Structure 1
Amino acid sequence: MTELHISWDDYHAKIEQLAVKVYQSQWEFNQILCLARGGLRIGDILSRIYNRPLAILSVSSYSGEEGNVRGELHFARSITMSTKQLGDRVLLVDDLVDSGVTLKETLVWLKQHPEYAIADVKTAVLWYKACSVIAPDFYVDYLSDSPWIHQPFGRYEQIKPEDLLP
């Protein structure tokens, strides 16, 4: 498996490139929903750029000592948001689509929760891997060789609090 190493500067540049792609599409949305954990930073920055409220749905599928073993998908019971209700035109944000299962199942989960009353949802990621079962609506890089991506915050998955002591 090939590997892709991303610096903080590259990471932030990719988020800005994603913001431009969404903008150039002229698609209007009134809410950003990010998938935690991978989509948190992206959702936060897009929320600031677009001045749209941010909502968070916690979803996890990776486990193991190094966080790289794909397992069963687990969803939070509800979406966390600071607005009274979720907007009806949602930009669903994550960092990448690897297998695509998380993104695909999140769209199913949203349809199963009519209390959110979503009329339109589009998906946005930084990296779209060829091995994905779903194509995102917006993405920055298509990765035909589906590499393992080392994101700049990944180092924190190896650090324990005591490692930070002087």
Structure 2
Amino acid sequence: MSDLYVTWSEYHKKIERLAVKIYQANWEFNQIVCIAKGGLRVGDILCRIYGKPLAILAASSYGGSQNRVRGEITFSHHLTMTTETLGNRVLLVDDLVDSGVSLRESMNWLEERYGNELEEIRTAVLWYKAHSLITPDYYMDYLPDNPWIHQPFEPYEQISPTELAASYLVKEA
């Protein structure tokens, strides 16, 4: 497996280009649901661009050494949202689709809890890996060699508050 390194600038440009791709599809949606943690930044920027409410579905499936070991997916008990209802056309976003399990299970989670409200769920991600069991509706990059993606916020997973504070003490001295 190769590695793909992404800068903050590249990351934000991909989100902007994804917003344009969704816009060009002429699909009207009334709610964005992001899968947290990875989809938080994507969902935040898309909700600002589109002026649509953002709901958050917390999910976790990676852990272990350097947060690279995929395990069983765990979801929050509730969807966090500021609207009274979910809406009937939902854009479900994440940063990437790797195996496809998180995206598929997130769709199932929404259907189980909000199926009576939902007419359609479409999915959007920045990166779509070849070994995914599902194809997202919107994506920026198709990755045929399934690389490990090093996103710009990854360093925060490797530093403790103590180390961060110490680095600022040195800089301020």
TM-score, length-scaled by structure 2? 0.94
* 1:64 partner amino acid: G
| 2:65 corresponds to | 65
**One-letter code aligned to 2:68:** N
In the aligned structure 1, how far is the partner of 2:70 from the partner of 2:13? Answer: 28
Percent identity, aligned pairs only, is: 60
Matches of 2:149 and 2:159, distance apart in 1: 18
1:16 positional shift: 0.3
Structure 1 stretches of at least 4 aligned residues deviating more than 6 Å after TM superposition: none
Distance 1:58 1:116, change over 3 A: farther
Q: Does 1:142 align with 2:139?
A: no
**Structure 1 residue 105 displacement after superposition:** 1.0
The structure with the larger Rg is 2
The AA in structure 2 aligned to 1:17 is: R
Report the CA distance between 1:115 and its aligned residue. 6.6
Cross-structure match for 1:50: 50
Cross-structure match for 1:159: 159
How far 1:116 sits from its partner (Å)?
6.5
Post-superposition CA distance 1:72-111 (Å, at most 9, x none): 1101001000111111110000000000100011111111
The amino acid that maps onto 1:95 is D
8 Å Cα contact 1:35-1:92 kept in structure 2: yes
Shift of 1:65: 3.4
Instruction: Please give the residue correspondences for 1:2-81 in structure 2 after superposition, counting only pairs within 5 Å.
Output: 2-81=2-81
SS of the equivalent of 1:164 reads: helix
Q: What is the RMSD of the two structures over their aligned residues, measured on CA atoms? A: 1.0
What SS does the aligned partner of 1:87 have?
coil
Question: Is there any run of 5+ residues in structure 2 with no aligned partner, and where?
Answer: none
